[in-house]
Structure 1
Amino acid sequence: MTQTTKVNVEAQAIEAKKASKTLMILSKEEKNEALNHLADVLEREYETILAANEKDLENGREKGFTEAFMDRLSLSKERIADFAQGLREVSELEDPTGQVLSDWTLENDLQVEKVTVPLGVIGMIYEARPNVTVDATGLALKSGNAIVLKGGSSAINSNKAIVEVMHKGLAETKIPKEAVQFIASTDRSATNEMFTMKEHIDVLIPRGGGKLIQAVVENATVPVLETGVGNCHIYIDKDADVEKAINILVNAKTDRPAVCNAAETLVVHKEWLAANNEALIKALKENDIHVHGDEHVMNIIPGSVLAGEEDWANEYLSTDIAVKAVDDLTDAITHIETYGTKHSEAIVTENQEAADKFFALVDAAALYHNASTRFTDGGALGFGAEIGISTQKLHARGPMGLPALTTVKFLMKGTGQIR
Structure 2
Amino acid sequence: MMDYKTLFETMGRQAKTAAFDMQKASTKMKNDVLARVADILEADMATILTANEEDMKHAVANGVPPVMMDRLQLTEDRIRQMALGVRQVIDLPDPIGECMERTARPNGIRIEKRRVPLGVIAMIYEARPNVTIDAAVLCLKTGNAVILRGGKEAMASNRALVAVLRRALKESGLPEDAVQLVEVTDREAVSDLLRQRAYIDVVIPRGGAGLIRRIVEESRIPVIETGSGVVHIYVDKEADPAKVVPIVINAKTQRPSVCNAAETLLVHREAVDTILPDVIDALIKAGVHLYGDEAIQRLTAAAMPATEESWYTEYNDLVMNCRVVDSLEEAIDHINRYGTKHSECIITENKATADTFMRDVDASSVYVNASTRFTDGFEFGYGAEIGISTQKLHARGPMGLPALTSYKFLVYGDGQTRG
Normalised by the length of structure 1, the TM-score is 0.98
- The CA distance in 2 between the partners of 1:153 and 1:232, in whole Å, is 27
Task: State the secondary structure of the residue aligned to 1:39.
Answer: helix
2:4 corresponding residue in structure 1: 5
- The CA distance in 2 between the partners of 1:27 and 1:61, in whole Å, is 44
Cα RMSD, aligned residues only: 1.1
2:335 corresponding residue in structure 1: 336
Task: State the secondary structure of the residue aligned to 2:171.
Answer: coil
1:324 deviation in Å?
Answer: 0.6
Task: State the secondary structure of the residue aligned to 1:367.
Answer: strand
2:29 corresponding residue in structure 1: 30
Task: State the secondary structure of the residue aligned to 1:235.
Answer: strand
Aligned residue type for 1:392 = Q
1:278 deviation in Å?
Answer: 3.4
1:169-248 matches, within 5 Å, as: 169-248=168-247
State whether structure 2 residue 346 is matched by structure 1 residue 347.
yes
- The CA distance in 1 between the partners of 2:130 and 2:376, in whole Å, is 14
Deviations, residues 150-190 of structure 1 (Å, cap 9, x unaligned): 11111111111111122122211032111001111112233
1:228 deviation in Å?
Answer: 3.4
Aligned residue type for 1:44 = A
8 A Cα contact 1:9 1:190, kept in partner? no
Deviations, residues 226-277 of structure 1 (Å, cap 9, x unaligned): 1130010000000001110111100000110000000000001111012223
1:363 deviation in Å?
Answer: 0.3
2:65 corresponding residue in structure 1: 66
- The CA distance in 2 between the partners of 1:249 and 1:277, in whole Å, is 11
1:108 deviation in Å?
Answer: 2.1
1:282 deviation in Å?
Answer: 2.8
- The CA distance in 2 between the partners of 1:226 and 1:374, in whole Å, is 19
8 A Cα contact 1:42 1:166, kept in partner? no
- The CA distance in 2 between the partners of 1:277 and 1:417, in whole Å, is 70
Aligned residue type for 1:158 = S
Task: State the secondary structure of the residue aligned to 1:148.
Answer: strand
1:15-414 matches, within 5 Å, as: 15-414=14-413
- The CA distance in 1 between the partners of 2:190 and 2:47, in whole Å, is 26
Deviations, residues 32-85 of structure 1 (Å, cap 9, x unaligned): 111011110111111111111111111110111111100001111111111111
1:389 deviation in Å?
Answer: 0.5
Gaps of 5+ in 2: none
- Work out the percentage of aligned pairs sharing the same amino acid: 49
Aligned residue type for 2:44 = E
Aligned residue type for 2:363 = A
Deviations, residues 381-409 of structure 1 (Å, cap 9, x unaligned): 10000000001000000000000000110
Task: State the secondary structure of the residue aligned to 1:267.
Answer: strand
Gaps of 5+ in 1: none
**Aligned positions, number:** 418
- The CA distance in 2 between the partners of 1:322 and 1:281, in whole Å, is 11
8 A Cα contact 2:8 2:196, kept in partner? no
Deviations, residues 77-103 of structure 1 (Å, cap 9, x unaligned): 111111111111111101011011111
- The CA distance in 2 between the partners of 1:307 and 1:262, in whole Å, is 19
Task: State the secondary structure of the residue aligned to 1:407.
Answer: strand
8 A Cα contact 1:13 1:181, kept in partner? no
Normalised by the length of structure 2, the TM-score is 0.98
1:3 deviation in Å?
Answer: 5.7
Deviations, residues 112-136 of structure 1 (Å, cap 9, x unaligned): 1000000000000111011110000
- The CA distance in 1 between the partners of 2:107 and 2:345, in whole Å, is 52
Task: State the secondary structure of the residue aligned to 1:171.
Answer: helix
Task: State the secondary structure of the residue aligned to 1:18.
Answer: helix
1:301 deviation in Å?
Answer: 2.2
1:18 deviation in Å?
Answer: 0.3
- The CA distance in 1 between the partners of 2:277 and 2:8, in whole Å, is 58
